[in-house]
């Protein structure tokens, strides 16, 4: 089974605040799923999302 994070666990994994994670969720910028009222994140998808964020940063630097 894939590893799954809740919001609190994801804030520790990403080393960011709860409000930052909730903003990413609200803006539909980070992959997540819900079960009832709880929000979860598949680690594999978060790792891909992180890689994509790095790629976007490199592309921006190349264009500068």
Indicate the pLDDT class of residue 1, thresholds 50, 70 and 90: low
Contact 31, 46 (CB under 8 A): yes
E-strand ranges in the chain read 4-6, 33-35, 38-42
Indicate the pTM of the whole model: 0.84
Could you report the per-residue pLDDT of 36-57, keeping only the tens digit for each? Answer: 999 999 999 999 999 999 887 7
| Dist. CA 24–CA 60, nearest whole Å | 20
């Amino acid at each position: 089974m894939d590893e799954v994070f809740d919001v609190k666990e994801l804030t520790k994994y990403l080393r960011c605040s709860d409000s930052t994670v909730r903003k990413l969720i609200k803006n539909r910028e980070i992959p997540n799923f819900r079960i009832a009222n709880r929000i979860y994140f598949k680690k594999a998808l978060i790792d891909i999302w992180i890689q994509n964020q790095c790629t976007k940063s490199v592309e921006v630097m190349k264009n500068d």
